[in-house]
Structure 1
Amino acid sequence: MSSVSVREFSYNPSAMFTRVEQGETIEVTRHGKVIAVLLPVVGSLGRYSPLVAKGLIRLKATTTADLDRLPQYDVPVDASPLDILLSSRDEDDW
């Protein structure tokens, strides 16, 4: 994972997004504090990104390794991800 300052990011955001498209994860910092993480939309985040974008869920992961530990669900195109998640939770209660 690389780290860039807001200033460096603002000079050439297209280059940063190109790096992310190539699979790199980039932390954006301001005064040494991480304020954003740019992740490629593959793996764990790719499964959750539509729900995050709609504001239906929030991910509170501190590293990409945390994201990799999130459960994986196969969601058919015509199914509701929420219904599958709730069904899985019901099964865990038994």
Structure 2
Amino acid sequence: MSTVSVREFSYNPSAVLARVEKGEAIQVTRHGNVIAILSPAGSPMERYAHLVAQGKIKLKPVTAAERHSMPHYEVPEDVDPVALLLAEREEDDR
């Protein structure tokens, strides 16, 4: 994920947003602290952008090999994905 300062963003917001349109997620920082995350609409990162901005989690780039080895879950819209993961963890602990 790329990082730009508020100052850089203010100089040319159109260029930064064009990068986001092309699929890049960008952190906006003020004095080294992340204050916003710009991500393409509909991206999986939308779920976590507020947590990253608050400093509660940090995301690291994932390689293609790592991505393919991760489990994939089909979650129906009426099911809470967190509840599904917690249930799986409970099964693993048994």
Contact 2:4 2:29 in 1 (8 A): yes
Q: Residue 64 of structure 1 aligns to a residue in which SS?
A: coil
In 1, Cα distance between the equivalents of 2:72 and 2:33? 27
Contact 1:6 1:30 in 2 (8 A): yes
Contact 1:52 1:59 in 2 (8 A): no
Q: Residue 74 of structure 1 aligns to a residue in which SS?
A: coil
Q: Residue 4 of structure 1 aligns to a residue in which SS?
A: strand
- Which amino acid in the other structure matches residue 64 of structure 1? P
> How well do the aligned residues superpose, as a CA RMSD in angstroms?
3.5
- Which amino acid in the other structure matches residue 42 of structure 1? S
Residue 25 of structure 2: aligned partner:
25
When the two structures are aligned, how many residues end up with a matched partner? Answer: 84
Contact 1:27 1:34 in 2 (8 A): no
Residue 6 of structure 1: aligned partner:
6
- Which amino acid in the other structure matches residue 7 of structure 1? R
- Which amino acid in the other structure matches residue 18 of structure 1? A
Identity %: 47
2:61 to 55, 59, 64: 64
TM-score normalised over the length of structure 2: 0.56
Residue 79 of structure 1: aligned partner:
79
Residue 43 of structure 2: aligned partner:
42
Contact 2:37 2:49 in 1 (8 A): no
More displaced stretch, 77-86 vs 20-29: 20-29
